[in-house]
Amino acid sequence: MPNALKVPPHRSCGASEVHHRLLENRAYQQNRIDIERYTSRFMLWGARSRRTGPVTIPVVVHVVYGDATQNISDAQVQSQIPVLNQDYGAANADKGNVPQVWSNLVADAQVQFALATVDPAGKPTNGIDRVQAGAQSFTTDDKVKSAATGGADPWPSDRFLNIWVCNLGGGLLGYAQFPGGPAATDGVVILYTAFGTIGTATAPFNLGRTTTHEVGHWLNLIHIWGDRLDCSGTDLVDDTPPQQAPNYGKPAFPHVTCNNGPNGDMFMNYMDYVDDDTMVMFTPGQVARISAALDGPRSSLTGNGQARVQQSIMRPVVMETT
């Protein structure tokens, strides 16, 4: 069955599109400014996290399906969680594929993920929410995130990482919302053929790395090339080389752009656009940004009593409805 499913020809992520749409809202603009100021100070101080060890983030997966094929199995949903834990814990077996010149930059983010065991009402749950879709496919307009528009309502985003799995159009594999946006749309959306490692998961996006990539945005990571194509883009991380554009497929090392020789692009980074079997690492600089997000705008999910930090740098974002 998976081989017959339609799969985009290369990775495409809608996080930047969503970000620019949200920037029309002044509260979101200010939140992003405040979050980046907080992140800069955090990194300047040497990324000294208030956390004393790894944190585990509760996850709810909303399976929004239009037909039986899109209604992926519990086992497929569950297959995604070990991938996130290995990738964010630098425990993935394929990290050995990192070129020797960067092998010392493979970093553990000290964050783990687990399907929720208690729902918002305090009742036992397997962390999987199934809703029959009111549309055949969805886009980056966030309609999948509301029952009123044919999708599934989120669980409280200050307590859960919401992941919606659905049929996405426009060649998208997924998209995410950066910290600082509306609570009602906060989370990650993944194409049902790019989620987990079994069932409908289809090569070359069948190793769960689309979710690793999109959760990276949710934790305030930027595309490694900085979403520009003129060598002026930046991901605000010092230990990732400058890069002109996204890489696709399985590039050969080195791939030199933007005068970044001799080693070239760090295309094996989770925040590039390469195939699942080619993205294998985060860097210490990226982990510092993740730590800043977990200490600041995402602190309510860590269970370490840092929600006051979130409240001090975030203001509610209310979007107009049409």
Would you please indicate which residues are annotated as catalytic (active-site) residues?
214
Q: Measure the CA–CA gap between 174 and 168, rounded to whole angstroms.
A: 8
The CA-atom distances, in angstroms, between 279 and each of 40, 74, 186, 196, 270 are: 26, 26, 25, 15, 5
Task: List, in order, residues 6 or more apart from 147 with CB less than 8 Å away.
Answer: 131, 153
DSSP 287: H
Locate 34 and state its tokens: 């405040």
CA 134 to CA 115: how far, in whole Å? Answer: 25
Backbone angles phi, psi at 164, to 5 degrees: -100, 130
Task: Give dist(CA 244, CA 259) in Å, integer.
Answer: 9
The CA angle 235-240-243, to the nearest 5 degrees, is 70
- Whether 56 and 161 have beta carbons less than 8 Å apart is answered as no
Beta strands 161-166 and 55-65: pairing type? parallel
Strands 188-191 and 174-176: antiparallel
